[in-house]
Structure formats: structure tokens, C-alpha cells
């Protein structure tokens, strides 16, 4: 769903939550029987950049951030995963190490599907192979769009765009947009926007004074999405 008329968030959204839809019942039951369900507390690492995948991860509940860290440990959050999305499958299919790290943004429930079991179904299911290929192509496009959108924008523009994307991520089914609460630490939000926490706090204060958002502790509610679209300067 677009945030406002003429502005679509689809170009910033992965589609791996649809990968298992429509698979034969036997294949789904096999995958479900092989899933190892784990609870991840907020901040717990799901996988580390540079390690080899021994399977894939299926986010059943919660949110997970994909990020890269520099030598000083400073993070750049690349993407926020929602319930229903797959993690780690590009590295597994490429037989390469993870190109980024992932950790729980909030208490989450994540299913692990071992490599041999996932590849068994993949090798016998043309439908799953086709869906994964389409998703890999789409995810590449999402990352390209994100790079293009953030490369030459001011911090104010990047924050406006990030809030629109996050509002879409945090919206619960059946919830009105103005009631959607983005619940993130200021540090995580600054790592998404790509700026210092102090700069982020100042800009959030400006947005609040302008009537664009309201805040309550870590919670942020978007009040004027149309104005944020205009500020983001991205169509």
C-alpha cells in the first residue's frame, strides 16, 4: 500500500513473506516439520557477517534488523525485517558467507530451517525456485533504490523517508495509520538514517514542532505523511 497518492513504498519493501504461499501442502508440511523454533530477546544476534549459513531463518513474530558494522562497531542498518520474512537465504544459495549481520530489534520468534532440508525442497519444487529467483531480483532492486534514495539526500530528507518506511513496517493489520507506533531506540533510528544521535534528536524535535510527528518515550507516531513525502523529495 502506498503511503500517499503518488508515493509507493513497494520499492523499499522485500517480498520474501510470500515465498511459501501456494506451495504444495506436502512441501509446506515437510518444511514445518523441520523448523527449529527459537525465541530471540531484543538485541540477540541471529547471524554474523562473515559466517557461513547452515540454514535459513523464517521470522515468525517480531522485527529483525540487517546491518553492517565498521571496525569501531558503528552500525549502518540496511533493512528492517517483518514477521513472515526469510533471512539468510541469498548467502545459502550463493554458498557464500553472510554479507551482513542480523539481530532482533524486539523480542522475536524465529524458525531455523536447516540447509539440507531447505535445499531438499528447493531441488524438487520449481515453484519455490522461481519465487526465490524473483525475490532475489526484487531485493537487489530494493537495495539499489535505498542507495539511490539516501546517497545524495540531506539528513532531514533521509529522516522523513525513513519514518515513512518504518510507519509501513510497524503498522498492524487493521490499524489506522495515525495510530501506528514506531518503537525504536534513538540509536537504532540514527543508524537507519545514517547520522549522529544528537542530530537525529534535534530533527525529531523540529518535526514535532512542525506537527509532523508526536513522540512518547521511544515511540514515534506520524501525523502528517503527506508533508513527510514532500520533505523526503522522493517520488
Considering 63-67, 134-138, 176-180, the range whose residues carry the highest mean pLDDT is 63-67
Between CA 138 and CA 173 the distance in angstroms is: 24
In Å, what is the CA distance from 178 to each residue of 93, 164, 173, 235? 40, 12, 13, 22
Give yes or no for a contact between 46 and 107, defined as CB atoms under 8 angstroms apart: no
Q: Residues in the chain, how many?
A: 235
Mean pLDDT over residues 82-93, rounded? 93
State how far Cα 44 lies from the chain centre.
16
Kind of pairing, strands 36-40 and 108-114? Answer: antiparallel
Question: And the C-alpha cell for 5?
Answer: 497518492
Structure confidence at residue 176 as a pLDDT band (50, 70, 90): low
Among the listed ranges 65-74, 122-131, 142-151, which one has the minimum average pLDDT value? Answer: 142-151
Domains and CATH numbers, the chain: 10-149 (2.60.120.10), 154-232 (1.10.10.10)
Q: 163: buried, middle or exposed (CB in 10 Å: 19+, 13-18, 0-12)?
A: buried
So what's the pLDDT on residue 102?
Answer: 97
Write out pLDDT tens, residues 40-58: 999 999 999 999 999 999 9
Mean pLDDT over residues 148-153, rounded? 81
Mean pLDDT over residues 201-230, rounded? 95
Amino acid at each position: 500500500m502506498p503511503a500517499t497518492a503518488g508515493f509507493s513504498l513497494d520499492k523499499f519493501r522485500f517480498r520474501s513473506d510470500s515465498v511459501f504461499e501456494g506451495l504444495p501442502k506436502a512441501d509446506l508440511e515437510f518444511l514445518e516439520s523441520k523448523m527449529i523454533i527459537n525465541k530471540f530477546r531484543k538485541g540477540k544476534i541471529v547471524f554474523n557477517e562473515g559466517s557461513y549459513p547452515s540454514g535459513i531463518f523464517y521470522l515468525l513474530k517480531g522485527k529483525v534488523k540487517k546491518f553492517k558494522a565498521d571496525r569501531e562497531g558503528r552500525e549502518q542498518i540496511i533493512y528492517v525485517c517483518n514477521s513472515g520474512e526469510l533471512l539468510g537465504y541469498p548467502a545459502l544459495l550463493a554458498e557464500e558467507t553472510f554479507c551482513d549481520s542480523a539481530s532482533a530489534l524486539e523480542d522475536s520468534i524465529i524458525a531455523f530451517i536447516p540447509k539440507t532440508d531447505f535445499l531438499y525442497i528447493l531441488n524438487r519444487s520449481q515453484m519455490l525456485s522461481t519465487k526465490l529467483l524473483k525475490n532475489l531480483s526484487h531485493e537487489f532492486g530494493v537495495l539499489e533504490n535505498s542507495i539511490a534514495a539516501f546517497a545524495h539526500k540531506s539528513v532531514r530528507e533521509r529522516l522523513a523517508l525513513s519514518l515513512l518506511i518504518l510507519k509501513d513496517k510497524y503498522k498492524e493489520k487493521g490499524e489506522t495509520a495515525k495510530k501506528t507506533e514506531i518503537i525504536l531506540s534513538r540509536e537504532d533510528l540514527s543508524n537507519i538514517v545514517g547520522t549522529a544521535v544528537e542530530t537525529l534528536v534535534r530533527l525529531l524535535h523540529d518535526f514535532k514542532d512542525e506537527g509532523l510527528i508526536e513522540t512518547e518515550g521511544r515511540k514515534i507516531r506520524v501525523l502528517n505523511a503527506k508533508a513527510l513525502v514532500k520533505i523526503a523529495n522522493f517520488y
